[in-house]
Structure 1
Amino acid sequence: MTTPATHRTATGPRPAGTPHPAEALRLVKVSKVYGGGGADGNAVTALDGVTLSLPAGSFTAVMGPSGSGKSTLLQCAAGLERPDHGLVMVDGAEMTGGTEAELTKFRRRRIGFVFQEYNLMPTLTVEENTTLPLKLAGRRVNRARAREILAQVGLGDRLRHLPEQLSGGQRQRVAIARALVAEPNVIFADEPTGALDMRSAREVLGLLQQMVRAFGRTVVMVTHDPVAASYADAVQFLADGRLAGALASPSVDAVAERLAHLGDALEAPDRRPLDPRPTSPAATAPDTTDAPAAPARPFGA
């Protein structure tokens, strides 16, 4: 695979050969509260001062018990939700400020998405779905490049197929190719294997690894599955709206054990705050809870 001639920075293209910044994604004291609060007690703290730094070219899984903040973390980090407080930076550029139009432009240039439900346009072919983000962003469509990426994810012979003619695993490969073709800095994957059988899930997880190792992207994956998490370089755990430790080079058993520990701690009637001490040097110790997910958006919006 050829390396792109330039990489984008906050101020414009970066010449080929210039190193990536150490951080691909940084959250600083990010908080998000849903509901009106006050005496009615209906406010839900979804994120509680989360600070997190992820290096460029890494694959990180985000896990936690139900209601831990996984979806809200992804939505705030990806610009689908605005945090109430704190800072989100992608590739050294601040994302949390500006108008909705500016935020949309930021996402289209710097961020890719892989969703559980694929979010493919049913009337568009595989190739057309793959190049759609470029068209929405008003960027030049390099069809040869798009076809090269589709061939690399095993869909070189499916260019003219419609989504209904594909298996679930093939549809998710289209979503991965679509994310790659725009050359984003960070790719967010939200339960990408949740609707797949075991064989297809393994293939998709292998492609996510390839995004990092062959394409040089940074992948952040929200998942509930310890097997899926074991494909990542590291796992960040959330509980009660805060970070609750991390695992480097995670194994299935180690991830499952940590999740069980978090679940037991949350169910304890007189529980104390969870121990935030990291389990590896890759962990950052600060602070996350899940609130209702944001309404679904059309891809690229």
Structure 2
Amino acid sequence: MDAVSKVYGKGSGAVAALREVSVGIPQGTFAAVMGPSGSGKSTFLHCAAGLDVPTSGSVRLGGTELSGMDETALTALRRRQVGFVFQSFNLVSSLTVLENITLPLLLAGARVDRAWLAEIVRRVGLEGRTGHRPAQLSGGQQQRVALARALVTRPQVVFGDEPTGALDTMTARDVLVLLREIVSGLGQTVVMVTHDPVAASYADTVLYLADGQIVDSMAAPTADKIAERMTRLGAWK
């Protein structure tokens, strides 16, 4: 991401959600993005993932420059190269676990790599559950399905938008351990927006956003250090 700005509205009513943001996230690393409400976290995620188009600046995903792509090309790129995990799981209730996981491949018209599918089902701990429907699963299991779905296309980046926000503390920890493992074990790149210092402590790097700008970053974070830094952003309640 190079000098990315995003402005909503025009004239006197214009609001800058991002202001000249430049950051690179190395492949095979886990980055957490934190900041107060209204700091630009969601806009950052949407621009980085090709869900929203910056007003100015450029975004690269892997070796692909997103600027100038039309919506059709961006949709195709997201289906192939981006995985998403949301707070609300976003599973299709009428589909089985296996059907939910392979849905991105179906939408992209891509072949299912059976060996890879078996590997991610095993890694996320859903063996024996693949014929279940989401309503038969716990929240933590549903988020594991969502994570497997995000990984099935072998994306360049998995983006998480508060992926543990709807989970209890113990279940959230299981999902965070899993995210950590897919970075360390599979070399996956993960970018996660979170408000939780404990969740962010599983990342390699924490990026702090305030007023649409990256104001700090922290390597080798701990929950205590993150919480203390958030206090000085004026964000921590």
Using the size of structure 1 for normalisation, the TM-score is: 0.76
Once the two structures are TM-superposed, the CA of residue 105 in structure 1 deviates from its matched residue by: 0.7
Q: Does 1:183 align with 2:157?
A: no
Could you tell me which residue of structure 1 aligns to residue 2 of structure 2? 28
Could you tell me which residue of structure 2 aligns to residue 288 of structure 1? none
Percent identical among aligned pairs is 59
Could you tell me which residue of structure 2 aligns to residue 212 of structure 1? 183
- Residues 90-143 of structure 1 show CA distances to partners (whole Å, capped at 9, x for unaligned) of 112101222111011111111111111111111000000000001111100134
- Residues 223-266 of structure 1 show CA distances to partners (whole Å, capped at 9, x for unaligned) of 000000000001000001111111100011110011110017x9
Once the two structures are TM-superposed, the CA of residue 148 in structure 1 deviates from its matched residue by: 2.8
Could you tell me which residue of structure 1 aligns to residue 229 of structure 2? 258
Once the two structures are TM-superposed, the CA of residue 147 in structure 1 deviates from its matched residue by: 2.9
Q: d(CA) in 1 for partners of 2:125 and 2:81?
A: 25
Confirm or deny: 8 A CA contact 1:95 1:106 kept in the other structure.
no
Could you tell me which residue of structure 2 aligns to residue 127 of structure 1? 98
Q: Does 1:139 align with 2:127?
A: no
The runs of at least 4 consecutive aligned structure 1 residues that moved more than 6 Å come to none
Q: Secondary structure at the match of 1:193?
A: coil
Confirm or deny: 8 A CA contact 1:60 1:234 kept in the other structure.
yes
Confirm or deny: 8 A CA contact 1:90 1:185 kept in the other structure.
yes
Kindly indicate whether structure 1 or structure 2 has the higher relative contact order, using CA contacts under 8 Å at least 6 residues apart.
Answer: 2
Q: d(CA) in 2 for partners of 1:36 and 1:166?
A: 46
- Residues 64-88 of structure 1 show CA distances to partners (whole Å, capped at 9, x for unaligned) of 0111110000000001111110100
Q: d(CA) in 1 for partners of 2:118 and 2:67?
A: 34
Q: Does 1:76 align with 2:47?
A: yes
Q: d(CA) in 1 for partners of 2:118 and 2:107?
A: 19
Could you tell me which residue of structure 2 aligns to residue 226 of structure 1? 197
Q: d(CA) in 2 for partners of 1:145 and 1:248?
A: 31
Could you tell me which residue of structure 1 aligns to residue 11 of structure 2? 37
RMSD: 1.2
Q: d(CA) in 2 for partners of 1:147 and 1:76?
A: 32
Alignment of 1:260-275 (within 5 A): 260-263=231-234
Q: Secondary structure at the match of 2:25?
A: strand
Q: Secondary structure at the match of 1:53?
A: coil
**Number of matched residues?**
236
Confirm or deny: 8 A CA contact 1:116 1:192 kept in the other structure.
yes
Q: d(CA) in 1 for partners of 2:182 and 2:89?
A: 17
**Residue number among 48, 53, 57 corresponding to 1:86 in the alignment:** 57
Structure whose residues are more often helix by fraction = 2
Unaligned 5+ runs, structure 1:
1-26, 267-301
Could you tell me which residue of structure 2 aligns to residue 163 of structure 1? 134
Q: d(CA) in 1 for partners of 2:115 and 2:26?
A: 30
Using the size of structure 2 for normalisation, the TM-score is: 0.97
The structure that has the greater radius of gyration is 1
**Residue number among 118, 123, 126 corresponding to 1:152 in the alignment:** 123
Could you tell me which residue of structure 1 aligns to residue 86 of structure 2? 115
